[in-house]
């Protein structure tokens, strides 16, 4: 019998703990497949965050370090600088990266650290139970902005990919989502490209992935996909934001 | 062996390089900035990695990453900066990642002063971060000891998979003194087969982590750590006794005050007093039993604890060790004011007079 | 034998360097030495000082309130430290900059025109070497040859041309107290 589909060798057999409809599972798979297809898995070292993907070290079939909240880019700096020929990545959520770890991500990008950051933006704190994130949209409800986020109270949400792309050390920043097959394929191409540019020692590479959180958004998984398309994409436009190696069209 | 005149902070950096430090991550702060400065100039030439981090928080987490992946890593700072490193230190301890951390102490609290102090004794020995953990703390009292201890610290850290702190004060960091680069004892070290250096065909992934969701698992992890700390206490406790045989009054001091006390001892002896110095070299593990036993000697009448701290921090450990057997008085200053020889002499005389 | 010396002056007058030279020379002669600087904002333009101990026994305290000798390169230094000098001690005053006199009768004072001699020698930067010469001659604790060897080792390569100048300044300083 022909095998038509197989779980990536980049993932362990550990059953994932993610909620139904959460996009982490898809994104883990894309990262794992990319590492395998590029022949990087064996030497890869990943850094996971504090947040819903805190247990990612159980799922990726490569060496992993669990970082303190927000510090993954600093941890990855220590790893990559001492293991310059190996693939190093951080996998971080929006509270971890855009709030408590804002300094670490900005400076890793500024220094042009040669690792890849996979940034999961689901506009909310998942693990701690639905609090407002720096990426929570205006009007979006969260347990710490129960009538909806206001500009007066919390300012406008942060567009991390655009912010980091202003730094010369960041050579690649793309925003993708995984709402359907076409977008999943685009997301994978972005992840692979980021790793390729990393291994080419071009600089800091960054892929922001818009993601759903049906549990904390209070929606079914399908409704969450619609909400993402209708609300997040207009504010967080998809596409390549920076690619210093891209051909001029 | 030929003596060379070295500034404390530069000697710390050179000692680390000689000990095979692979990487250094640091941030400028007075009075330790010569450590990152020296490292930036010399570590890359020795094949190592130097990064000036964006903060002390980032520096200690870079150490966590590099050391977790199997490299010899060090960071240095001074008191307010070491406060910021506490998060990283508890993660290092929790995940059992070996690393060397230097604290060139200055006065606090808050911004305090840039002058020498010992106000971080509690922070170093009690664990400034969250949770039940210990870091081995070495307290040199001159530049020679500092370079010896920094070199040894890497081996101790690797042997026990535990962070090791070397605490000195701004004076030791800034002063120059002749030293010899004599060989320090090398330990037989276990392989770093736990490190996240890449799987490369290994049948399992290595994970550096301090997270245990099940309470029983976390409890068991703490039991394991406790056993390790007991082992460290058994093997690594160090102290020095100077003229304690027959002494009636014992000065307890570490670091710079212990060295100032050596001059006070001379003055007191020439005045006919029987005086000794008990100097803890490891602040954790504290030489509890040795001090307890010394206090039990009939010839010992009283103790004088001297620190560069306002009301005494090591004093707590001295009390816990002496266990009320003999009276203990205290002399100390904070904020960069150093206890003087004259003050020590007067305080020792007074303490002895009170018990006679 | 134990010398506890405070050297104090404006940043740039070379006071810290005098201290380092004394410590280096002391070490070369087999003495136990320490050099401890004041540090901080005073490094950036204010008055900076350092404490040097030269001793035939291991050095206990590297800092002290009562020096055996004081080298005052500027007026605030004399004002600040004169009172603490041990009775019978020596004060060296940079008399081109300091117009005050040492007021205590129990101290020996030497007034050394460091800047004037340095200019006569040909470089205003060697004033500290003049003062070092005065100290060595007055205390007789270090051999002048040790200092001259040190000066030769200090300036090598392209800087070797500075050796005669510094030695000349050092000798002129010695002559001030002879």
Instruction: Identify the CATH number of the domain in which residue B161 sits.
Output: 3.40.50.970
Q: What is the ipTM of this complex?
A: 0.95
Contact yes or no for B210 and A86 at CB 8 A:
no
Shortest CA distance from C24: residue in chain B: B5
Residues of B in contact with A76 (CB under 8 A): 65
Query: Number of folded domains in chain B?
Result: 2
- Class at the top of the CATH hierarchy for domain C2-177: alpha beta
B262, B203: one domain: no
Contact yes or no for A61 and B199 at CB 8 A:
yes
β-pair partners for C8: C49, C72
Going edge to edge, which strands form the sheet with B73-77? B49-52, B23-26, B73-77, B99-105, B163-169, B136-138, B282-284
What is the per-residue pLDDT for C23? 97
What is the per-residue pLDDT for C40? 67
Specify burial of residue C114 (Cβ count, 10 A radius: 0-12, 13-18, 19+).
Answer: buried
CB A90, CB A109: distance < 8 Å: no
Contact yes or no for B263 and C60 at CB 8 A:
yes
Which of A78, A90, A92, A113 is the mutation pick for testing B, counting most B CBs within 10 A? A78
B195, B258: one domain: no
Where do the domains of chain A lie, and which CATH numbers do they carry? 24-242 (3.40.50.970)
pLDDT in tens, C87-104: 999 999 999 999 999 999
Residues of B in contact with C58 (CB under 8 A): 262
Size of interface A-B (CB pairs under 8 A): 136
- Beta carbons within 8 Å of A166's beta carbon, 6+ residues apart: none
**pLDDT grade, residue A227 (50/70/90)?**
very high
Per-residue H/E/C for chain C: CEEEEEEEEECCCCHHHHHHHHHHHHHHCCCEEEEEECCCHHHHCCEEEEEEEEECCCCCCCCCCCCCEEEECCHHHHHHHHHHCCCCCEEEEECCCCCCCCCCCCCEEEEECHHHHHHHHCCHHHHHHHHHHHHHHHHCCCCHHHHHHHHHHHCCHHHHHHHHHHHHHHHHHHHHHC
B335, B189: one domain: no
DSSP state of A12: -
CB A6, CB A49: distance < 8 Å: no
C-alpha distance from A89 to closest chain B C-alpha (Å): 12
Q: Show the low-confidence residues of chain B (pLDDT under 50).
A: none
C-alpha distance from C33 to closest chain B C-alpha (Å): 6
C-alpha distance from B94 to closest chain A C-alpha (Å): 11
When CB atoms are compared, the residue of C23, C32, C60 closest to B176 is C23
What is the per-residue pLDDT for C97? 93
Residue length of chain A: 249
Chain A neighbours (≥3 Cβ pairs under 8 A) are: B
What is the per-residue pLDDT for C41? 58
When CB atoms are compared, the residue of A12, A63, A74 closest to B61 is A74
Residue length of chain C: 178
What is the per-residue pLDDT for A1? 82
Using CA atoms, how far apart are residues A184 and A197, in angstroms rounded to an integer?
20
A146-150, B142-146, B307-311, C12-16: least confidently modelled range:
C12-16
B212, B346: one domain: no
Using CA atoms, how far apart are residues B196 and A65, in angstroms rounded to an integer?
7
**Pairing assessment for the beta strands B328-332 and B302-307 based on DSSP bridges:** parallel
Using CA atoms, how far apart are residues A116 and A171, in angstroms rounded to an integer?
11
Contact yes or no for B115 and C40 at CB 8 A:
yes
Residue A70 Ramachandran class (φ > 0 left, ψ -120 to 50 alpha, else beta): left
Two structure tokens written together for C16: 């810290």
Count of CB atoms within 10 A of residue C108's CB?
15
Q: Is A246's pLDDT higher than 60?
A: no
H and E: helices and strands count for chain A: 11, 7
Q: Is A112's pLDDT higher than 90?
A: yes
Of the candidates B236, B255, B273, which is a domain's last residue?
A: B236
CATH code for the domain in which residue B291 is found: 3.40.50.920
When CB atoms are compared, the residue of B171, B176, B259 closest to C60 is B259
Two structure tokens written together for B214: 């099940």
B16, B115: one domain: yes
B173, B34: one domain: yes
Shortest CA distance from B29: residue in chain C: C40
pLDDT in tens, A13-52: 999 999 999 999 999 999 999 999 999 999 999 999 999 9
Q: C160 at the B interface (CB within 8 A)?
A: no
B278, B313: one domain: yes
What separation in angstroms does the CA of C16 have from each of C23, C36, C110, C143? Answer: 11, 9, 19, 20
Q: B209 at the A interface (CB within 8 A)?
A: yes
Two structure tokens written together for B12: 């710390």
C-alpha distance from B275 to closest chain C C-alpha (Å): 15
Q: Is A40 helix (H, G, I), strand (E, B) or coil?
A: coil
Chain C neighbours (≥3 Cβ pairs under 8 A) are: B
What is the per-residue pLDDT for B20? 98
β-pair partners for A205: A116, A172
Residues 101-160, chain B: which have Cβ within 8 Å of C? 114-115
What would the mean pLDDT of C54-73 be, rounded to a whole number? 95
CB A137, CB A149: distance < 8 Å: yes
Place of tokens 């300091």: C98
B232, B294: one domain: no
Two structure tokens written together for A78: 């220590």
What is the extent of the structural domain holding B178?
A: 4-236
Chain B neighbours (≥3 Cβ pairs under 8 A) are: A, C
**pLDDT grade, residue C50 (50/70/90)?**
very high
Using CA atoms, how far apart are residues B225 and B218, in angstroms rounded to an integer?
11
When CB atoms are compared, the residue of A12, A55, A77 closest to B51 is A77
Contact yes or no for B114 and C20 at CB 8 A:
no
Q: B180 at the C interface (CB within 8 A)?
A: no
B86, B167: one domain: yes
Q: Is A247's pLDDT higher than 90?
A: no
When CB atoms are compared, the residue of B171, B262, B342 closest to C60 is B262
Q: Which residue would you say has higher pLDDT here, A159 or C46? A: A159
Q: C36 at the B interface (CB within 8 A)?
A: yes
Shortest CA distance from B63: residue in chain A: A78
H or E segment to which residue B240 belongs: strand B239-242
What is the per-residue pLDDT for A219? 96
Residues of A in contact with B201 (CB under 8 A): 42
Shortest CA distance from A49: residue in chain B: B209
B12, B133: one domain: yes
Using CA atoms, how far apart are residues B273 and C91, in angstroms rounded to an integer?
34
Place of tokens 């994978």: A188
Domain locations in chain C as residue ranges = 2-177
Contact yes or no for B58 and A82 at CB 8 A:
no
Two structure tokens written together for B68: 């977790």
Using CA atoms, how far apart are residues B264 and C29, in angstroms rounded to an integer?
26
A61-70, B146-155, B237-246, C40-49: least confidently modelled range:
C40-49
B224, B288: one domain: no
**pLDDT grade, residue A248 (50/70/90)?**
very low
B232, B246: one domain: no
Shortest CA distance from A82: residue in chain B: B66
Shortest CA distance from B114: residue in chain C: C40
Residues 37-76, chain B: which have Cβ within 8 Å of C? none
What would the mean pLDDT of C161-166 be, rounded to a whole number? 94
């Amino acid at each position: 019998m022909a095998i038509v589909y197989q779980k990536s060798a980049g993932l362990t057999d550990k059953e994932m703990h993610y909620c139904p409809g959460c996009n982490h599972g898809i994104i883990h798979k894309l990262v794992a497949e990319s590492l395998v297809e590029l022949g990087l898995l064996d030497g890869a070292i990943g850094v996971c965050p504090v947040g819903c993907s805190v247990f990612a070290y159980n799922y990726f079939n490569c060496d992993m370090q669990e970082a303190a909240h927000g510090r993954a880019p600093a941890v990855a700096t220590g790893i990559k600088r001492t293991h310059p020929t190996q693939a190093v990545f951080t996998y971080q959520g929006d509270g971890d990266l855009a709030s408590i770890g804002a300094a670490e991500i900005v400076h890793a990008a500024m220094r042009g650290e040669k690792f890849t950051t996979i940034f999961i933006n689901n506009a909310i704190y998942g693990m701690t139970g639905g609090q407002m994130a720096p990426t929570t949209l205006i009007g979006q409800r969260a347990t710490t902005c129960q009538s909806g986020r206001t500009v007066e109270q919390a300012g406008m949400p942060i567009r991390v990919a655009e912010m980091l792309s202003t730094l010369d050390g960041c050579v690649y920043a793309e925003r993708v989502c995984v709402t359907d097959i076409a977008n999943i394929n685009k997301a994978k191409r972005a992840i692979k490209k980021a790793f390729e540019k990393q291994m080419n020692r071009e600089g800091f590479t960054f892929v922001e992935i818009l993601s759903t959180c049906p549990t904390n958004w209070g929606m079914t998984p399908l409704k969450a996909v619609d909400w993402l398309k209708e609300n997040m994409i207009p504010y967080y436009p998809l596409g390549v934001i920076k690619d210093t190696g891209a051909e001029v069209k | 062996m030929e003596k060379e005149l070295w500034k404390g902070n530069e000697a710390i950096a050179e000692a680390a390089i000689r000990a095979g430090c692979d990487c250094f991550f640091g941030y400028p702060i007075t009075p330790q900035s010569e450590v990152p400065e020296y490292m930036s100039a010399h570590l890359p030439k020795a094949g190592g990695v130097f990064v000036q981090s964006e903060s002390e928080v980032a520096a200690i987490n870079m150490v966590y990453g590099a050391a977790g992946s199997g490299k010899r890593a060090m960071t240095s700072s001074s008191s307010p900066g070491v406060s910021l490193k506490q998060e990283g230190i508890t993660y290092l301890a929790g995940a059992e990642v070996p690393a060397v951390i230097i604290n060139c102490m200055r006065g606090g609290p808050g911004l305090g002063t840039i002058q020498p102090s010992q106000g971080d004794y509690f922070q170093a020995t009690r664990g400034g971060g969250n949770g039940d953990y210990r870091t081995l703390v070495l307290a040199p009292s001159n530049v020679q000891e500092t370079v010896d201890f920094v070199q040894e610290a890497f081996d101790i850290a690797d042997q026990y998979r535990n962070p090791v702190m070397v605490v000195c004060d701004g004076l030791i960091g800034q002063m120059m003194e002749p030293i010899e680069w004599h060989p320090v004892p090398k330990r037989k070290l276990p392989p770093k087969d736990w490190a996240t250096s890449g799987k490369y065909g290994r049948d399992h992934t290595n994970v550096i982590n301090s997270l245990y969701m099940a309470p029983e698992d976390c409890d068991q992890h703490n039991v394991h750590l406790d056993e390790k700390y007991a082992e460290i206490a058994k093997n690594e406790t160090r102290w020095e006794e100077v003229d304690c045989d027959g002494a009636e009054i014992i000065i307890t001091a570490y670091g710079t005050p212990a060295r100032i006390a050596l001059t006070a001892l001379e003055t007191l002896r020439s005045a006919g007093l029987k005086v000794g110095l008990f100097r803890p070299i490891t602040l954790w593990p504290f030489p509890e039993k040795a001090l307890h036993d010394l206090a039990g000697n009939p010839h010992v009448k009283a103790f004088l604890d001297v620190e560069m701290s306002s009301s005494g921090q090591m004093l707590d450990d001295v009390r816990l060790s002496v266990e009320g057997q003999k009276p203990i008085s205290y002399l100390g200053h904070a904020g960069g004011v150093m206890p003087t020889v004259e003050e020590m002499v007067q305080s020792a005389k007074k303490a002895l007079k009170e018990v006679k | 034998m134990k010398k506890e010396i405070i050297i104090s002056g404006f940043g740039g007058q070379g006071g810290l360097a005098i201290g380092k030279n004394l410590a280096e020379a002391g070490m070369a002669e087999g003495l136990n030495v320490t050099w401890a600087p004041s540090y901080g904002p005073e490094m950036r333009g204010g008055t900076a000082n350092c404490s040097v101990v030269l001793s035939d026994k291991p050095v206990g305290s590297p800092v002290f309130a009562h020096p055996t000798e004081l080298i005052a390169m500027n007026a605030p230094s004399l004002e600040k430290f004169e009172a603490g000098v041990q009775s019978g001690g020596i004060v060296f005053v940079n008399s081109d900059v300091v117009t005050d006199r040492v007021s205590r009768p129990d101290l020996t004072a030497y007034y050394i025109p460091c800047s004037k001699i340095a200019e006569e020698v040909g470089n205003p930067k060697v004033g500290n070497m003049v003062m070092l010469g005065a100290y060595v001659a007055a205390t007789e604790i270090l051999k002048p040859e040790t200092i001259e060897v040190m000066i030769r080792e200090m300036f090598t390569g392209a800087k070797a041309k500075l050796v005669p100048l510094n030695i000349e300044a050092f000798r002129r300083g010695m002559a001030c107290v002879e």
